[in-house]
Amino acid sequence: MGEGNDALQETFIDVDANPRGAQSFSEGSASSEATIAADAVTDSDIPVATNDRSRRQQQRRRALSPPSAAAGGVFEENDDDDNDDNLTELEEDDDAPPTPRFMQDEGAWKHWKWVPYPVRRVWTPTVRWTRGPSDARAFTIDPLLPVVQHAPLKLLDRLLQRSPTPRSRWWWRRGLVFGWLALWLLTFALVMRHSIVAGEIAEWGAPGDIGCGNTYWVPGNMCGLDGSDCRPFNNSGFAFRCPASCASYQVLNPRAVGDQEVVYQTLVVGGPGSGDAGSSSSSSSKPDTQQPIYRGDSFICSAAIHAGVVTNAGGGCGVVKLVGQQSQFVASSRHGIKSVGFDSYFPLAFTFEEGVECPGSQDSRWTLLAVSVAFSTVLSLFVTDPALFFFSIFTGLFWHVGLASDPPPHTTVPALLSNIVGKFLPAAFVAWVIFDKMGVRRTLTGLTAQIEKTVLWLGACWVGALGNYTFDAIPIQRLTPHDLAQQPGAKAALSIIVILLTGIVVSQVWYFRQEGRLRKYLQLYALLGAGLIVCLLLPGLSLRIHHYILALLLLPGTSMQTRPALLYQGLLMGLFINGVARWGWDALLQTAAALQGDAQLGSPLPELLTPVIHMANATVAAAATTAATVAAAAAGGNVLRSIFAAGGANADADASTLAQCSALLAANTSTISFSWKPPPGPRYDGISVLVNDVERFRSYFDDLPASGASNVFVWERPADAAVNEYFRFAYMEGSQSDDYTRAGIWTADGEWVPMPPGPSRVRSRNLDGEKRR
């Protein structure tokens, strides 16, 4: 018995010394003993499991093993034997090939097995990376040259030290702030009042305010047949006052002028040397010394700048006069505006009175800008409270943009005030959301770098608020596919902007990760991106990113206190202010008709047959003119005048003399006859014809059988009319015209030049002309 115990003891000693030597011994043990032995092995003795399956197997073994107390101590003797058995199993597992990584991740992705493994392999470290570093911290700005930047605050504290109690100092601080704001408002109102009240012009009265796009003549057929809705053509006028910066007012869709199309420039047709007097003047006379004459569809304020009546920088007032039908409008470049030429006649033209003085007529927007910049700068230097600074600057800049730097179209000052009040109330609520929920409070709280805040945040805010000047050189008027494809340089400019935005986004992502807030903002922008994608997919609607919408989308990405964030946040706030104050709350989703404006409709165009031209014989025409003149003189000179003036007979004229004159004048007339194919569908009710951009013919198809007329338009002109004439045709839907064709030319020599393919139809939204975006 003792020998057996010694042998057993020796065996246990060998097991402790060399576990592999106990392998054969452990194989003869009971399974329950082996299980309990596995429980007795410590964590340090067991190799760490590298996959979930191994851990689950261990848990099942432990669950199936009986408790040690129930064994009554029997198993304690064989504890080391069980350890030997378990260690042998684990060592055998270690010798097996390693488990593949995709099998190790199977448990974590059991509900996402449909996701490809390469995606899961990239996704896991990416999610881990978005958590940020373990020592994440919020960025704060330490002022550069703190002695200099804190000087305004120390000066204010020194002035308020004389106040006896903290409560009184608090009241003094508030009183100084609101007193400064009241002084800002009073100064602004006085300067603006001086520019509003203009002196009267002798014989014309007080000038009326007009917009940069006001014109006497709207395009297409909106002036009616023969321009009857835009009369009078002559012997009329009024005193006007133009705002500043009208030279940048442009047409955004092609505008027809003869066979030309004007787009992305201001519309001015003619200038010095134009008109009947200019064309008949001697060649030695310089055009700049002649009175400028402009076609009736020219923008009045842009033409006044071109003529030198007002300035682009300060605006001004003048008197415009109608001079009736004129011809031969000469192109020229004066005072920063390049006018367009037109080599035919137009029924309405205008010029400007010379030597008109209008005291107090200058636009004061630059003076008001100096006032607002000065007051806002001082406020920024001396105020540290985030809410007081933000809402004071927001209110001041909003009203400055709406009343001075970029006011919306208006006829009177009360109407302008009503417009801005209607926009400001909802804008103030959105401003609170921006401040409290979009990170402006976080950016400005605790910021004592007063000069850096003023230069970066306030300076950038002014740049964005004055976007009609600061971003005017960027060749992008509207972010629509049509405009980007049509406007020269728009695609290149957009590419540069996208590259800059990409760099900014990458830098902001790094900052957010360092603060440990990246994941939350990635989720926010993923939600916003999904919403924009849904908007893009909605049928019948187009996504339009306006100024204020772009600002609202990007402002959450500036929610940190860094110098770049100060710059970006101020710029976006300026864009928001300019977008709402100038353009209002335009919809994120707009219909195709709203986006189209006065662009081409894409409607079918009339198909013309070859026109028939009848030219008067020059010799016969000269003889007929002489005979008609003699006959008219014999009748007292009344018949000929009535024929030219009214196209009919004078009631007092002799009938035989009138018939003779009519026959003779017919020999002096050249004609061109147009006919066309039937319309492509019943929705088209008639046809409209423009001659020299004026509607001269309108006919409805259902009237033709009753009247006995045919699908023919005949145009006449005197044989000695040595001018080109331009013809455009369009179908009618009710009283509205569709797209017009491009211009076909009946030359002065009597030849017909067919129109190029495609439309040139442009429509005006209203009498104020084009919009500037």
Report the C-alpha gap between 229 and 280 in whole angstroms: 31
What is the reported pLDDT for 97?
Answer: 62
Report the C-alpha gap between 442 and 439 in whole angstroms: 5
Residue 214 has pLDDT above 70, yes or no: yes
Residue 707 has pLDDT above 80, yes or no: no
Report the C-alpha gap between 296 and 270 in whole angstroms: 10
Of 538 and 360, the one with more pLDDT: 538
Cα–Cα distances in angstroms (integers) from residue 482 to residues 479, 541, 544, in the given order = 9, 15, 12
- The pTM of this model reads 0.74
β-sheet bridge partners, residue 208: 240
**Averaged pLDDT score across all residues of the chain:** 78
β-sheet bridge partners, residue 316: 242
Confidence grade of residue 722 (pLDDT, cut at 50, 70, 90)? confident
The amino acid at 536: L
Q: What mean pLDDT is predicted for residues 746-765? A: 78
Residue 67 has pLDDT above 50, yes or no: no
Peptide bond into 232 cis (omega under 30): yes
Q: C-alpha 31: how far from its chain's center?
A: 79
β-sheet bridge partners, residue 257: 260
Confidence grade of residue 46 (pLDDT, cut at 50, 70, 90)? very low
β-sheet bridge partners, residue 725: 746
Report the C-alpha gap between 671 and 758 in whole angstroms: 26
**How deeply is 619 buried, as exposed, middle or buried, from its count of CB atoms within 10 A (0-12, 13-18, 19+)?**
exposed
What is the reported pLDDT for 202?
Answer: 77
What is the reported pLDDT for 100?
Answer: 61
**b/e map 221-244, b = 16+ CB within 10 Å:** bbbeeebeebeebeeebebbbbbb
- The phi, psi pair for 701, rounded to 5°, reads -65, -35
The CB-side HSE value for 459 (13 A sphere, CA atoms) comes to 12
What is the reported pLDDT for 29?
Answer: 39
β-sheet bridge partners, residue 712: 675
What is the reported pLDDT for 533?
Answer: 94
Report the C-alpha gap between 365 and 400 in whole angstroms: 9
Which of 374-379's residues contact partners 24+ apart within 8 Å by CB, and which partners?
A: 375/180, 375/183, 375/184, 375/187, 376/184, 376/458, 376/462, 377/454, 377/458, 378/180, 379/177, 379/180, 379/181, 379/184
What is the reported pLDDT for 108?
Answer: 60
Q: Where do we find the tokens 């909003």?
A: 398
Q: Of the spans 243-252, 366-375, 405-414, 737-746, which averages the highest pLDDT?
A: 366-375
Residue 343 has pLDDT above 60, yes or no: yes
Cα–Cα distances in angstroms (integers) from residue 623 to residues 271, 274, 618, 626, 640, in the given order = 37, 32, 9, 5, 16
Cα–Cα distances in angstroms (integers) from residue 751 to residues 260, 716, 741, 745, in the given order = 19, 14, 19, 8
- The phi, psi pair for 450, rounded to 5°, reads -65, -40
Kindly state the tokens that stand for 549.
């919408």
Residue 684 has pLDDT above 60, yes or no: yes
Report the C-alpha gap between 509 and 519 in whole angstroms: 10
Confidence grade of residue 196 (pLDDT, cut at 50, 70, 90)? confident
Report the C-alpha gap between 724 and 344 in whole angstroms: 6
**Model pLDDT for residues 535-583, shown as the tens digit of each residue:** 999 988 888 888 899 999 999 999 999 999 999 999 999 999 999 999 9
- The SS3 assignment for 124 reads helix
Confidence grade of residue 370 (pLDDT, cut at 50, 70, 90)? very high
The amino acid at 402: G
Residue 88 has pLDDT above 50, yes or no: no
What is the reported pLDDT for 250?
Answer: 87
Q: What mean pLDDT is predicted for residues 196-209? A: 79
Confidence grade of residue 71 (pLDDT, cut at 50, 70, 90)? very low
Confidence grade of residue 654 (pLDDT, cut at 50, 70, 90)? low
Kindly state the tokens that stand for 77.
């003797």
Of 249 and 459, the one with more pLDDT: 459
**b/e map 172-207, b = 16+ CB within 10 Å:** ebeeebeebbeebeeebeebbeebeebeebeebeeb
Q: C-alpha 602: how far from its chain's center?
A: 23
- The SS3 assignment for 572 reads helix
Confidence grade of residue 380 (pLDDT, cut at 50, 70, 90)? very high
What is the reported pLDDT for 451?
Answer: 96
Report the C-alpha gap between 519 and 246 in whole angstroms: 47
Q: What mean pLDDT is predicted for residues 528-540? A: 92
Q: What mean pLDDT is predicted for residues 143-161? A: 90
**Model pLDDT for residues 418-464, shown as the tens digit of each residue:** 999 999 999 999 999 999 999 999 999 999 999 999 999 999 999 99
Measured at the CA of 293, the angle between CA 288 and CA 298, to 5 degrees, comes to: 120
Cβ of 554: how many Cβ atoms within 10 Å?
Answer: 20
What is the reported pLDDT for 662?
Answer: 55
**Model pLDDT for residues 475-520, shown as the tens digit of each residue:** 887 777 777 877 888 889 999 999 999 999 999 999 999 999 999 9
Q: What are the residues whose beta carbons fall under 8 Å from the beta carbon of 755, sequence distance 6 or more?
A: 727, 728, 741, 742, 743, 744
Of 62 and 770, the one with more pLDDT: 62
> Beta strands 234-242 and 208-209: pairing type?
parallel
**Model pLDDT for residues 270-322, shown as the tens digit of each residue:** 999 887 765 554 444 455 557 899 999 999 999 999 999 999 988 888 999 99
Q: What mean pLDDT is predicted for residues 58-77? A: 48
What is the reported pLDDT for 527?
Answer: 95
Residue 34 has pLDDT above 50, yes or no: no
**Contact of 330 with 271, CB cutoff 8 Å:** yes
Among 304, 346, 310, 331, CA closest to 214: 304
Q: What mean pLDDT is predicted for residues 313-342? A: 92
Report the C-alpha gap between 699 and 686 in whole angstroms: 5
- The SS3 assignment for 652 reads coil
**b/e map 314-336, b = 16+ CB within 10 Å:** bbbbbbbebbbebbbbbbbebee
Report the C-alpha gap between 606 and 741 in whole angstroms: 8
Torsion of CA 658, 662, 664, 668, to 10 degrees: 150
β-sheet bridge partners, residue 219: none
C-alpha torsion sign, points 94, 97, 99, 100:
positive
**Model pLDDT for residues 574-625, shown as the tens digit of each residue:** 999 999 999 999 888 888 777 766 666 778 888 888 899 888 765 555 555 5
Domains and CATH numbers, the chain: 2-99 (no CATH), 208-352 (2.170.130.20), 365-586 (no CATH), 612-753 (2.60.40.10)
DSSP line for 308-355: TSSBTTTBEEEEEEEE--EEEEPP-EETTEE-B-EEEEES-EEEE-SS
Q: What are the residues whose beta carbons fall under 8 Å from the beta carbon of 479, sequence distance 6 or more?
A: 544, 545
What is the reported pLDDT for 526?
Answer: 94
What is the reported pLDDT for 36?
Answer: 37
Share of the chain above pLDDT 70, in %: 73
**How deeply is 390 buried, as exposed, middle or buried, from its count of CB atoms within 10 A (0-12, 13-18, 19+)?**
buried
- The SS3 assignment for 752 reads strand
DSSP line for 680-726: SSTT--EEEEEETTEEEEEEEGGGHHHHT--SEEEEEEETT--S-EE
